[in-house]
Amino acid sequence: MMTPGGDTTIGMIECLDGEVGYWDARLNAAYAERMAIAKDQDSDTLGLRSAAASIEDSLRNMQRSWIIFRDASCLYEQAQWMGGTGGGPATQACHMHETARQALKLEGWWGQ
């Protein structure tokens, strides 16, 4: 937002959109890596005839639930602007923060 025009609503949204794209790519890569690991772990567990829940299914359900949470959280953020022009940048900033947080979690930086 430090570029010319970056202080406009459109400028802020464009800047934040680039950041969302960066974090979304990291999130997708981390999710794919975690999913591959989960499949291997489930395969190992299956051989043991364990009653443990599927890690792959749990990961998929967690991610789907997270998307619902992220969207609801960012809609709440937008609603606080009561239709004002700041709602767009606020929503993008929320998407950026939530996506970054989830990417870092899946990469293993949080929760260990």
Q: How many domains does the chain have?
A: 1
Kindly report the CATH number assigned to the domain that includes residue 23: 1.20.1270.180
Handedness of CA 33, 99, 9, 75 (dihedral sign): positive
In terms of residue numbers, what domain contains 102?
13-107
Is residue 91 included in any domain, yes or no?
yes
pLDDT at 45: 83
Is residue 48 included in any domain, yes or no?
yes
Is residue 8 included in any domain, yes or no?
no
pLDDT (tens, 9 = 90+) of the chain, 112 residues, equals 555 555 677 878 888 888 999 999 999 999 999 999 999 989 888 777 777 899 999 999 999 999 999 999 999 999 999 999 899 999 999 999 999 999 999 999 654 4
pLDDT at 48: 76
Rg of the chain on CA atoms, in Å: 18
pLDDT at 69: 99
